[in-house]
Structure 1
Amino acid sequence: MAAYHWTMAEVGQSKLSFAVVGTGALGGYYGFRLVRAGYPVHFLCRSDGAYIRQHGLTVTSGGERVTRQVMAYDRSADMPQVEVVLVCLKTTENHRLRELLPPMLKPSSLVVMLQNGLEEEAKAAAVVGADRVIGGLCFLCANKVGPGHVVHLDYGRIVLGQYTPEGRPGGVTPGMKQLASAFVAAGIQATGTDCLRLARWEKLVWNIPYNGLSVLLGAETDVLMACAPVRHQIEVIMEEVRSLAAADGHHIPETFPARMLMDTERMKPYKTSMMLDYERGNPMEISALYRDPVAAG
């Protein structure tokens, strides 16, 4: 799998307009960064739209708390058409894409799926066509701690890849470069992959063990890593994910799980998104993170 690393000098800067569908931790953080960089960003909110319209969107990161007035909406039907739609919903909400996306789409708009899982891009492609769908893998530790308030804990890199229905390499597309230019201008590290499906499998090497075990054991990442039997179980599950990926035709190097473990050791203590969903009584991403990968492998 080829990886592409972009700098501002390489991609330039394009003034795209954005819609963020789902203003949770992920959508709130990335959308906020784009707003600070001067991009027009329209936020679709689930429950705190009125609060954000009145008080603004707040992000706390690196000890700095910043609030900005942003354009927040309760209904997609009220939103303007934009060049890029960032889908930041939980995958459990993707059945709503056919209803949510059309009002904000131009004939050439890109839809970027900033989600977990393996098969979610297909759901957007069913609405807009495969060539307009880009996948985004977010390596971000952030939590939404209250209405209109996101706390960024660590990381923030995005890996972009062109969706192809067959899971084959899609190369670097003009849309990926346009997106990268905006993210880099907003201070977000953006890299690219020529094979989105392999990149999704690689992220599942981390997501599958840590999300599930954090819920089963009620533990944050640092606690999971500190317990030798649990760490061993994480390693076993990671190897199982490698086997599933291989059965799906995608090779993940033997050294990859060790890299994931090292990255997690350096990570600040973190509650996984599935653990937060469990604690809050929200639907968990069981299909995206477990059923679909098992079926694919």
Structure 2
Amino acid sequence: MIERARRYAVLGTGAVGGYYGALLQRSGFEVHFLARSDCEHIARYGLAVRSPMGDFVLPKVHVYSEAGTMPRCEVVLVTLKATHNHLLASMLPSVVAQGGTVVLMQNGLGGEAEIFPWAAGAQILGGLPFICVNKTAPGQIHHIDYGLVTLGAFGPDYAPQGQSPVLLQVAEDLQQAGIAVETAADLMLARWRKLVWNIPYNGLSVLLNARTDQLMENPATAALAEQLMAEVKAGARACGRDFPDAFIEKMLDHTRAMQPYRTSMKIDAEQGRPLEVETIYGHPLRIARRAGAQMPRVEMLYRQLQFVDARIRTVGKVATRA
């Protein structure tokens, strides 16, 4: 095992946090995991990863059910769903070390600005995983395909920050753990590019009860996905962030080539969990509208998902009261 100066915390040991945190620990980093629902299982049996890159088990991990009991760490990976970001107001000040770094590994727009007041002066990075990974059972992670992480530094009003030393340092750590990394000089541009995939496939998979391969095999839904991507590109361009049309073709080709996949939003809907509707749809729509762009197909998707999300939350409240 290689000793490392930087300790890592993973806030949210779901599919993404469990996978990347496990890779970091396997490579020799000291990693501390927050796992609220399956903490006892992980403490007893560890974390198991099934992956086309090679299966492995970590029989012993540092795992906690409460953030307040975790040690302070130099790098904190936030892999909670954006619907739980309000919890970070109490978590981050107790976990991030002085002069540390918080990496927000979530979908959508605006998360870095939301957590900035709670980051205890830490440098904030945005982390954008392009990965197919699911948590199949307590402590069980199934990596299906891909795994690239794009890292960008957050600054006031999302102004491009370039390649900061902290950004490069975290990128090097992830690469040493076997994680493919690319760095982005403009975090906002990187987040718009990620939305090119997230907006069509997350929403359509929920509303049509379909995997990504099923969406791409049907000419009508494949065409709709491409039209939604074009609207996202138009929204980004209105906000001063543009990218070539070839990027849309690249995302379509990647999706055709990937293994059959249930998106994270589809799994959340199936399991009765609140959906990340605002960060993936609502916030980008409002930003684009203020910049003068209309995204009518995306807005229709947003309104439909609001209905689904409200129904899930209502059922959840009834079940809690019962």
TM range (shorter): over 0.9
Counterparts in 2 of 1:259-270, with a 5 A limit? 259-270=250-261
Q: Does 1:225 align with 2:216?
A: yes
When structure 1 is superposed on structure 2, of 272-281 and 96-105 the one drifting more is 96-105
Residue 166 of structure 1 aligns to a residue whose secondary structure is: helix
Cα-to-partner distance string for 1:210-245 (whole Å, 9 max, x where unaligned): 000001111101110000011111111111111111
TM-score by length of 2: 0.86
Cα-to-partner distance string for 1:7-56 (whole Å, 9 max, x where unaligned): xxxxxx96421000000000000000000001000000121001100111
Q: Measure how far apart 1:63 and its partner are.
A: 7.5
Q: Does 1:37 align with 2:39?
A: no
Cα-to-partner distance string for 1:61-83 (whole Å, 9 max, x where unaligned): 12843221100000011000110
Q: Give the % identical residues.
A: 44
Counterparts in 2 of 1:91-170, with a 5 A limit? 91-128=82-119, 132-170=123-161
Q: Measure how far apart 1:137 and its partner are.
A: 0.5
TM-score by length of 1: 0.93
Q: Which amino acid aligns with 2:173?
A: A
What is the CA–CA distance in structure 1 between the aligned matches of 2:119 and 2:79, rounded to whole Å?
Answer: 17
What is the CA–CA distance in structure 1 between the aligned matches of 2:155 and 2:280, rounded to whole Å?
Answer: 20
What is the CA–CA distance in structure 2 between the aligned matches of 1:241 and 1:152, rounded to whole Å?
Answer: 28
List 4+ stretches of structure 1 deviating above 4 A. Answer: none
Q: Which amino acid aligns with 1:19?
A: A
Contact 1:116 1:288 in 2 (8 A): yes
Q: Measure how far apart 1:252 and its partner are.
A: 2.2
What is the CA–CA distance in structure 1 between the aligned matches of 2:115 and 2:164, rounded to whole Å?
Answer: 18
Contact 1:14 1:178 in 2 (8 A): no
> Any gaps of 5 or more consecutive residues in structure 2?
289-322
What is the CA–CA distance in structure 2 between the aligned matches of 1:101 and 1:295, rounded to whole Å?
Answer: 28
Match of residue 4 from structure 1: none
What is the CA–CA distance in structure 2 between the aligned matches of 1:186 and 1:254, rounded to whole Å?
Answer: 33
| 1:131/1:78 CA distance change after superposition, 3 Å | closer
Q: Which amino acid aligns with 2:215?
A: L
What is the CA–CA distance in structure 1 between the aligned matches of 2:78 and 2:4, rounded to whole Å?
Answer: 20
What is the CA–CA distance in structure 1 between the aligned matches of 2:215 and 2:131, rounded to whole Å?
Answer: 18
Q: Which amino acid aligns with 1:50?
A: E
Residue 167 of structure 2 aligns to a residue whose secondary structure is: helix
Q: Does 1:174 align with 2:165?
A: yes
Superposition RMSD in Å? 1.4
Across the two proteins, how many residue pairs are aligned to each other? Answer: 285
Contact 1:131 1:163 in 2 (8 A): no
When structure 1 is superposed on structure 2, of 70-79 and 255-264 the one drifting more is 255-264
Contact 2:11 2:77 in 1 (8 A): yes
Contact 2:99 2:121 in 1 (8 A): no
Match of residue 185 from structure 1: 176
| 1:252/1:161 CA distance change after superposition, 3 Å | same
Contact 1:60 1:66 in 2 (8 A): yes
Residue 55 of structure 2 aligns to a residue whose secondary structure is: strand
Q: Measure how far apart 1:98 and its partner are.
A: 0.8
> Any gaps of 5 or more consecutive residues in structure 1?
1-12
What is the CA–CA distance in structure 2 between the aligned matches of 1:51 and 1:131, rounded to whole Å?
Answer: 32
Cα-to-partner distance string for 1:257-297 (whole Å, 9 max, x where unaligned): 11110111111111000000010000110001100000010
| 1:63/1:179 CA distance change after superposition, 3 Å | closer
Contact 1:159 1:193 in 2 (8 A): yes
Residue 23 of structure 1 aligns to a residue whose secondary structure is: coil
